[in-house]
Amino acid sequence: MSDRLLTHLRHVDLAVPDYDKQLDFYSGVWGLTKVAEESGISFLAAEGSPEQYVVRLRKVDEKRLDLVSYGAANAADVDALAEQLLAGGVQLISQPGKLDTPGGGYGFRFFDVDGRTIEVSADVEVRRHRKIEEKESIPVKLSHVVLNSPDLDRTKDWYETHLGFRLSDTLESPHVGKVMHFMRISNQHHSMAIASGPHTSLHHISFEMRGIDEYMRGSGRLLRAGVRKLWGPGRHMAGNNTFTYFLDPHGNTVEYTTEMEELDEDTWHPHVFDFSQPEVTDQWGTANPMNEMLAKESFNDPDHGVFVAPPV
C-alpha cells in the first residue's frame, strides 16, 4: 500500500471476568476517567486526550483482547482502506458504517494476520479535554500498544503491507534472535510494537504522562498503592522513552511513559539494537534487570479472542 491511511492509535479494548476490580483499577489508581457505562461495558478516557476513550472494558467469562482501534483522517480514507484490505485478501468483520460507541463516527473492523480484531474509524466527535497540570500524575493520552506474536516477521510484514506501518527499530539478542519490532504510522517512534512470544496475546498498553516528574509521581503512587511493579523506572534506547511497567488486576502489563522520540521520517533508518546489552533496555541503569520471569509475565495468557470478533 503506497499511501498511509492510518493517523493514530485511538483505544485498546479489554475483556475480563472480574470487571468491577478492573474498572476500579483503571478509573482509580491508574488515573483514567470513566465517561460512560452500560450493561457490563465501560469507557475510560485520558483527561489530556481528545479521544472519547482510550480503554474499553467488557465483562466476559474468559479474559481476552477485544480490539485495537486506529484513526483515519476521514470517511473516504476508511472506505479506501476497506477496499484495499478486501483486495489483499484480508478478512473483514464488518463493512464501513456508522459506529454506535461514544462519539459515534464511521468505521469498520477486520482481523489481522494473527487473528486480532482491529478497528479503523474517522469522524469521531472530539472529546472536551484539558491540559494536564504540573505535578498532576495521570495519563495525558494513550501512547502505544505492544502485541505478542509467534511469528514476529510475518506480523511485521502484514502491518507494513496492509496498514502502511513503517519499521523504526528492532531489538534482537545473540541468544534468541529477534525480540521486538517497533512500528510507526507517524513521526512518533512507535504507536505499536510487535514482540516475539509463544502465542498471540497482549504484551502491554502504554500511557503518556505530562513529563518526567509526573511520570515518577505516578509510578510512586502505584507502588504506594501496592500495585505490582514488573520493571522500571528506566529509559529505553529504542524510542528513548521512559518506562515503568505494572500488572493490572488481570495480569495485563500496563506502562507509564513519557518523552517518546519523534523522528524525521525522510531521513530515518531503522537500527538493530542488541537486547542483551543493559544500556539498550535501560539507558539510566535504574531499572531492575530484565530476566526470564519478567519476559514470561509479558507473554501474558493466550488470547481467547483470536479470530473471534467481540460481540460489541
Grid coordinates in use for 283?
A: 539507558
Phi and psi torsions of 229, nearest 5°: -90, 135
What's the CA gap between 194 and 148, in Å, rounded? Answer: 6
SS (H, E, C) 141-174: EEEEEEEEECCHHHHHHHHHHHHCCEEEEEEEEC
For the segment 283-288, the average pLDDT, to the nearest whole number, is 96
Q: In the structure, what pLDDT confidence band is assigned to residue 193 with cuts at 50, 70 and 90?
A: very high
Model confidence at 294: pLDDT above 90: no
C-alpha cell at 86: 478486501
Per-residue pLDDT tens over the stretch 66-104 = 999 999 999 999 999 999 999 999 999 999 999 999 999
pLDDT at 2: 40
Q: Over the stretch 121-130, which tens digit does the pLDDT of each residue have?
A: 999 999 999 9
* Mean per-residue pLDDT over the chain, rounded: 96
10-61 confidence digits (pLDDT tens): 999 999 999 999 999 999 999 999 999 999 999 999 999 999 999 999 999 9
pTM over 0.85: yes
Distance CA 108, CA 95 (A): 5
- Structural domains of the chain in order of their starting residue, each with its CATH number: 6-122 (3.10.180.10), 141-299 (3.10.180.10)
